[in-house]
Amino acid sequence: MAKKTARTAAGLRFGIVVAQFNQRITGRLLRACTDTLAHSGVAANDIQVVRVPGAFEIPLVARTMARANRHDAVICLGAVIRGDTPHFDYICSEVSRGIGQAALETEVPIIFGVLTTETVAQAEQRADQKQFNRGGAAAESAIEMVRVMRSISGKVGKWESGESISQSGRAAGRTKR
Ligand code: INI
């Protein structure tokens, strides 16, 4: 279930990269993520969703989106389930390393909303529509990270007072949109 965040994020722009692999799970993550952003005041037009084949492809697209400077944060959603595949460890290590590296390189918050579970049941639990959902949590982390990055770069504006931060400028410290 999407949770209301305390602060309004109206005016902020988010990119979402979502893997199509295990779509039954990732679709639920995406829904909770966009619901949480919407409840926080983010307009539908300010959310760009890009679908990629699997989690392995997420880092390249996330980095490209972050480098384009059109988003205040990028949220990565996927579900890697161990099952019987030897792929699991390779994909998990590549996607986590790639997302972390992309965030450091671009200095744009890139949120790790990728489930890495042993079983489908565990993944379903973390993508539950009515209880805790990692997609919603990823949206909350993204909003919070925009605030953190702005606060350490001295561009806080109205954000600290709990009002809309759109007035304090999007993509703080960057000139290109
Ligand atoms: N992709 C996932 O997102 N989750 C998985 O569980 C998964 N498994 O198990 O194989 C998976 N594989 C596809 C991979 O991410 C790439 O799309 C593919 O290897 C092409 O590069």
- Residue 147 maps to which CATH number? 3.40.50.960
Number of structural domains the chain divides into: 1
> What pLDDT does 60 receive?
98
Is 87 marked active-site?
yes
Residue 176 belongs to some domain of the structure = no
> What pLDDT does 97 receive?
98
Measured CA to CA in angstroms, residue 138 lies from 16, 64, 158, 169 at distances of 10, 19, 23, 22
Q: Which atom of ligand 1 is nearest to the CA of 88?
A: 9
**Structure tokens belonging to residue 87:** 């792929």
Instruction: Tell me how far the alpha carbon of residue 57 lies from the centroid of ligand 1, in angstroms.
Output: 8
Residue 174 belongs to some domain of the structure = no
Task: Please tell me which residue, 171 or 124, carries the higher pLDDT value.
Answer: 124
Residue 132 belongs to some domain of the structure = yes
With the most atoms of ligand 1 within 8 angstroms of its CB, the residue from 57, 80, 93, 94 to mutate is 80
> What pLDDT does 63 receive?
98
Residue 125 belongs to some domain of the structure = yes
Write the residue with the smallest CA distance to atom 6 of ligand 1.
80
Q: How confident is the model at residue 10 (pLDDT cuts 50, 70, 90)?
A: very high
* 47 SS3 class: strand
**How many whole angstroms separate alpha carbon 83 and alpha carbon 75?**
25
**How many whole angstroms separate alpha carbon 38 and alpha carbon 85?**
36
> What pLDDT does 17 receive?
98
Write the residue with the smallest CA distance to atom 7 of ligand 1.
80
Q: Is the distance from the beta carbon of residue 91 to the nearest atom of ligand 1 less than 6 Å?
A: yes
The pLDDT tens digits for 111-166 are 999 999 999 999 999 999 888 899 999 999 999 999 999 999 876 555 544 444 44
Report yes or no: 106 and 67 within 8 Å, Cβ to Cβ. yes
Report yes or no: 92 and 50 within 8 Å, Cβ to Cβ. no
Mean pLDDT of 24-46: 97
Mean pLDDT of 9-36: 97
C-alpha torsion angle, residues 38, 50, 152, 140 (rounded to 10): 40
State the residue range of the domain holding 103.
14-166
Q: DSSP letter string over 68-127?
A: TT--SEEEEEEEEE-TT-THHHHHHHHHHHHHHHHHHHH-S-EEEEEEEESSHHHHHHHB
> What pLDDT does 51 receive?
98
Sheet holding 73-81, edge to edge: 47-52, 14-19, 73-81, 110-117
Task: Check pLDDT > 60 for residue 177.
Answer: no
Report yes or no: 72 and 170 within 8 Å, Cβ to Cβ. yes
Q: How confident is the model at residue 173 (pLDDT cuts 50, 70, 90)?
A: very low
Mean pLDDT of 36-42: 97
Mean pLDDT of 65-79: 97
Residue 4 belongs to some domain of the structure = no
**How many whole angstroms separate alpha carbon 135 and alpha carbon 81?**
16
Q: Is the distance from the beta carbon of residue 85 to the nearest atom of ligand 1 less than 6 Å?
A: yes
Measured CA to CA in angstroms, residue 38 lies from 47, 121, 139 at distances of 9, 28, 10
Residue 8 belongs to some domain of the structure = no
Question: How much is the pTM?
Answer: 0.87
Mean pLDDT of 49-74: 97
